[in-house]
Structure 1
Amino acid sequence: MRIAFLTAPEGVEQVELTEPWQAAKDAGHEPVLVSTQSGEIQAFNHLDKADTFPVDEVTGETSADSFGGLVLPGGVANPDFLRMDERAVAFVKDFFTQGRPVAAICHAPWTLVEADVLRGRTLTSWPSLRTDIRNAGGTWVDEQVKVCDGGPSTLVTSRKPAT
């Protein structure tokens, strides 16, 4: 199964991209790096530049139809950039509309807030997103990992890379 990993061109937390990517490969899936621009993305280790990764597909030129699921890695800047891009937000929303599974790590639920898909769902995130999630109609919980089946698609969230 093809799994989309959606990132902005800059700002994704490297460990939140590479570890789930490897887990998807180990489970026999095909991870695909999707971004808002072609070329490469720049990952970060907190505030320091880390590695670059080649973009496989671009939002607006691909769709949720061609993927079995979506992973939204965090990093503070990454979801903030994504939530300002209409094509990225529409791409994310399509996964929910189609009932496909979505995973969001750390700050990544900011993109879900913008996609307006959190009403009636319970999720976790980095604690600073608590108010944003509540204001978007979601219920925030302080748990390592939260699986929410409260809608047409399964949503899996985690507080931080270690969880």
Structure 2
Amino acid sequence: MQNLQGKSIAILATNGFEQSELEVPRDKLRGAGATVHVISLEPGRIKGWDKDDWGNPVDVDRTLDSVSADDYDAIVLPGGQINPDLLRVEQKALDFISKFWSDNKTVAAICHAPWLLVETGIAKGRKMTSYPSVKTDVINAGAHWQDSPVVTDQGLVTSRNPGDLDAFCEKIAEEIKEGRHERRAA
């Protein structure tokens, strides 16, 4: 993975995130030298979902109220069915995600997290992938859904599922290293 020394990355999640979809990017991006903060709605710990049952808690580094998108180079949105469904009704979370997009920074979402891209309007006109059960939502939001492990589109990185985490993390690092992305109209 590319060296991300000096880069800061936000991982936005709440209870019910898919365990590997938060932990693997967090650990790989930190391993590449980035500062990575797990950001959530409340302080303390959030509990993951590990395949078919509750997983392990993860420490929250910062609360959403205490951060700004200006502090970060990219945002990573883990999936799981519960996590993005809870976040997509939180206007502060949607505003936080939208700010990364409007500032031409890297936005990465995996599995069910493209629901957040649908909710913010980011999906419209973009090439994307997602977990198959989210496909219709993504298409109905105006995205060009692709059946690929990882899809990138002008700083937007989406991935189907936890089996694609290595490629997902590599693409995140690549997009961050490219810097801000001038986004052509969808």
TM-score range, shorter chain: over 0.9
Q: Where do 1:1-163 residues align within 5 Å?
A: 1-8=7-14, 10-149=15-154, 154-163=155-164
Match for 1:100: what amino acid?
K
Q: Is the 8 A contact 2:18 2:48 kept in 1?
A: yes
Q: 1:2: how far off?
A: 1.1
Match for 1:156: what amino acid?
V
Provide the aligned length of Structure 1 versus Structure 2.
158
The structure in which a higher percent of residues are helix is 2
Moved more, 130-139 or 94-103: 130-139
Once the two structures are superposed, what CA deviation does each residue of 1:68-126 show, in whole Å capped at 9, x if it has no partner?
A: 10000100101000101110111111100111101111111001111111111010000
Q: CA-atom RMSD, angstroms?
A: 0.9
Match for 1:157: what amino acid?
T
Match for 1:142: what amino acid?
D
Q: 1:65: how far off?
A: 0.3
Q: What's the TM-score once normalised by structure 2's chain length? A: 0.83
Which ranges in structure 1 are unaligned for 5 or more consecutive residues? none
Give the Cα separation in 1 of the matches to 2:58 and 2:133: 28
What SS does the aligned partner of 2:47 have? strand
What SS does the aligned partner of 1:125 have? coil
Q: What's the TM-score once normalised by structure 1's chain length? A: 0.94
Between the aligned residues of both structures, percent identity stands at: 41
Once the two structures are superposed, what CA deviation does each residue of 1:106-158 show, in whole Å capped at 9, x if it has no partner?
A: 11100111111111101000011111111111111100110111xxxx01111
Give the Cα separation in 1 of the matches to 2:88 and 2:42: 14
Moved more, 127-136 or 77-86: 127-136
Which ranges in structure 2 are unaligned for 5 or more consecutive residues? 1-6, 165-186
What SS does the aligned partner of 2:76 have? strand
Q: 1:60: how far off?
A: 2.8
* Structure 1 residue ranges, 4+ long, deviating more than 2 angstroms after superposition: none
Once the two structures are superposed, what CA deviation does each residue of 1:8-67 show, in whole Å capped at 9, x if it has no partner?
A: 1x1001100111111101211011000111111001102311111111111132111000
